Structure 1
């Protein structure tokens, strides 16, 4: 199953890179220094992981596909290291309030997105 996680990871990393660049470019063009690219990717990845979790627990997603999508894709698509790096960049640029908002919103909205994905999927499959 390691190969399955690797295949999913390759796709997740490629999408994260491409989507992150697009979102960051648009945010910068709008004058924002907030790291929207990573924020959107981490939140959407949390939502997707919540959905995949319920599908797996309910037996609707085989273990192989959990390895591809949950472990591989979502693991490479979302990024904790970039989150930490961008937080430190905001602090170094003396944008401490943005750093606090980034950390707080990433954690709370990320958990809420995972919960929403789980709840919505449970509602649909039952």
Structure 2
């Protein structure tokens, strides 16, 4: 029945990803902004959330079932590697190579930084 936990988390994560992406793009007053800020934000948020959860699990403050629900389900559906890849390819195809490279570098660095920060914060909170 673990798969039901993953499904339940994904049911929340997928629409949250879409709504967050649209809200970020709308906030920029340009739903078709050149740089994919919406995807960047949801991926960074998912990394931070997964880091917090992983830190809590490692500290013994969260269960493996919660990890399935929130980590695999919610964070997995909230983040989107395929959209990130597609948007990066589109930037390159449109002659915006610098933005494509910047998207890759920033996404990887911010994602790793967010997961590390979240993990460290959780470990400090639950020690």
Give TM class, smaller chain.
Answer: over 0.9
Find the counterpart in structure 1 of residue 7 from structure 2.
6
The reply on whether 1:124 has 2:125 as its aligned counterpart is yes
Q: CA deviation at 1:25?
A: 2.4
**Which stretches in structure 2 are left out of the alignment for 5+ residues?**
none
Find the counterpart in structure 2 of residue 52 from structure 1.
53
Partners of 2:12 and 2:74 within 8 A in 1: yes
CA separation of 1:31/1:77 partners in 2, compared to 1, >3 Å: closer, same or farther? Answer: closer
Q: CA deviation at 1:115?
A: 0.4
Runs of 4+ in 1 over 4 A off after TM superposition: none
- Paired residues for 1:78-93 under 5 Å: 78-93=79-94
Find the counterpart in structure 1 of residue 67 from structure 2.
66
CA separation of 1:55/1:97 partners in 2, compared to 1, >3 Å: closer, same or farther? Answer: same
Partners of 2:25 and 2:31 within 8 A in 1: no
Q: Once the two structures are superposed, what CA deviation does each residue of 1:55-98 show, in whole Å capped at 9, x if it has no partner? A: 11222112211110001000000000000000011011111101
Q: CA deviation at 1:123?
A: 1.5
- In the superposition, the TM-score normalised over structure 2's length comes to 0.93
Q: CA deviation at 1:31?
A: 8.6
RMSD value, Cα: 1.5
The reply on whether 1:19 has 2:20 as its aligned counterpart is yes
Partners of 2:21 and 2:38 within 8 A in 1: yes
- In the superposition, the TM-score normalised over structure 1's length comes to 0.94
Equivalent-residue separation in structure 2 for 1:110 and 1:64 (angstroms): 24
Equivalent-residue separation in structure 2 for 1:121 and 1:62 (angstroms): 14
